[in-house]
Amino acid sequence: MSEDEETRRRDDFLLSIGPYTGRLINTLIKGSKARNILEIGTSYGHSTVFLAEAARATGGRVITIDCAANKHDYARKKLAKAGLAQHVEFRLGDAGDVIASLSGPV
């Protein structure tokens, strides 16, 4: 695939954080005992798994925002398969609008 085509189709691929970054974020959340976690850009849910596992450990929840319904659907299935779906609240829409509608600290 050419670089131009790859750029045009970027959203077709599973772009995600790597395992080292995921583990670092997970450790930081657990260490700070964060209970309200905000993810802007769910994408396909790879990072959401790391966040949700940390939320489970702290008794918290993840609010994850994306504007693509197909990505949310994919991520929901991934989180359910991992047994972490109950720790994630999916919000579909523009991040600015969704953040403005949130109450409380995140």
Question: What are the pLDDT digits (tens) for 46-105?
Answer: 999 999 999 999 999 999 999 999 889 989 999 999 999 999 999 999 999 999 999 878
Query: In this structure, are residues 44 and 14 in contact, taking their beta carbons and an 8 Å threshold?
Result: yes
The pLDDT assigned to 80 comes to 97
Domains annotated on the chain, with CATH: 17-101 (3.40.50.150)
Separation CA 101–CA 55 (nearest Å): 21
| Closest CA relative to residue 60, chosen from 96, 35, 38 | 35
Over 70: is that where the pLDDT of 27 sits? Answer: yes
Question: What is the crossing angle of helices 46-58 and 19-32, to 10°?
Answer: 20
- What is the pTM (predicted TM-score) of this model? 0.85
Query: In this structure, are residues 72 and 66 in contact, taking their beta carbons and an 8 Å threshold?
Result: yes
